[in-house]
Amino acid sequence: MKKLGLMILVAGIILMAGCAGDDPAGPGGTLADVTGVEIGTASTGQSIAITWTAIDDVDGYKVWFRATSTADWVEVDDVTTNASTVTATSAGYYVVTAYEGTNNSENNSNEVTTMPSDVTFTYTIFDRWCPDTEHSGFIFGEDSGDTGLASNTGFLQDIYAWDYDTDGDDTVYLTSGGWGTYGNGSDSWMHEATNASYVEARTTANSGPSGPWYSNDYKLYTSDTRTYISLSSGHYVKMYNLSIVPSSVTPRGTEVSFSYEYQTLEGVTVFSSN
């Protein structure tokens, strides 16, 4: 009986140790849980501002991050005030715990996220060499997009597909909705996808010919799989699963298919690794 009791005790200790890996505070903390965690309006680009309700008589707070809802928590900041600014390289989730000496909050705080809205539907737009009935314009919505005729002045596109020639190189341009032949829509800026999960914030200084943000049009190649868009609303979009192929409706044209992520936090430029 004593041996059986010892085995049960050891198993219980192992189980508790396993739980500690899931909770950054670990078991046994007796401090109050942090509440009121929010992503602050000062967040911009990759700089994520996080605030929460202060707790009396604690030494400080730890901020924890994970890039997916099932990943392990990683400590990203340790502060003595109820605010933190984290430089993020991807979207994800944040919680906060308080500590006093070696004692921690009993549980994690409420969870906040910078994850974008992932619009997984595949949309297709066509360049100008396709029939006029084929949609060349696109509007990015938070939860869904809308294709339309860029030539229609009533359709206020964010971008439209355009090609200047029929040289057969399977390239096509993404053109700002407010520029060019069909420039009756909204101004947008395009950026090469140098990575999958974030892009630099657009500024006046880095827009145009001297910077990485293209204010008029951006040439896509068949090798491109992603690109970023800065919308006139102040929100950012990542187009992914890009496919640039000869048109299925005419031998002269090109079509662009894609899905996209829409960052719902205005000015924030982090995304998932899609």
| Distance (Å, whole) CA 260 – CA 237 | 7
Mean pLDDT value of segment 232-253: 94
Q: What is the pLDDT confidence band of residue 1, given thresholds at 50, 70 and 90?
A: very low
Mean pLDDT value of segment 84-90: 98
Could you tell me how many residues make up the chain?
274
- DSSP annotation of 201 reads P
Mean pLDDT value of segment 67-84: 97
| Distance (Å, whole) CA 89 – CA 65 | 11
- CATH class of the structural domain 2-112: mainly beta
pLDDT of residue 193 exceeding 60, the answer is: yes
- Confidence at residue 242, expressed as pLDDT on a 0 to 100 scale: 97
- Confidence at residue 20, expressed as pLDDT on a 0 to 100 scale: 38
* Ramachandran region, residue 57 (left: φ > 0; alpha: ψ -120 to 50; beta: rest): left
- Confidence at residue 29, expressed as pLDDT on a 0 to 100 scale: 92
Q: What residue spans in the chain does CATH classification 2.60.40.10 cover?
A: 2-112
Q: What is the pLDDT confidence band of residue 251, given thresholds at 50, 70 and 90?
A: confident
Cα 97 vs. chain centroid, distance in angstroms? 25
Buried b / exposed e across 256-266, counting CB within 10 Å, b at 16+? Answer: bebbbbbbebe
How do residues 35-72 score in pLDDT, each as one tens digit? Answer: 999 999 999 999 999 999 999 999 999 999 999 999 99
| Cβ–Cβ < 8 Å for 95, 25 | no
Consecutive H or E run containing 126: strand 117-126
Cα separation values, 138 from 52, 233, 272, Å: 39, 15, 22
* Mean pLDDT score of the chain: 90
Cα separation values, 198 from 175, 234, 237, Å: 22, 16, 10
Instruction: Note the pTM of the prediction, 2 decimals.
Output: 0.89
| Distance (Å, whole) CA 192 – CA 194 | 6
Q: Which two tokens stand for residue 106?
A: 């009993």
Percent of the chain with pLDDT over 90: 83
The one-letter amino acid at 55:
I
- Confidence at residue 266, expressed as pLDDT on a 0 to 100 scale: 98
Q: Which two tokens stand for residue 172?
A: 């096509």
- Confidence at residue 173, expressed as pLDDT on a 0 to 100 scale: 96
- Confidence at residue 27, expressed as pLDDT on a 0 to 100 scale: 40
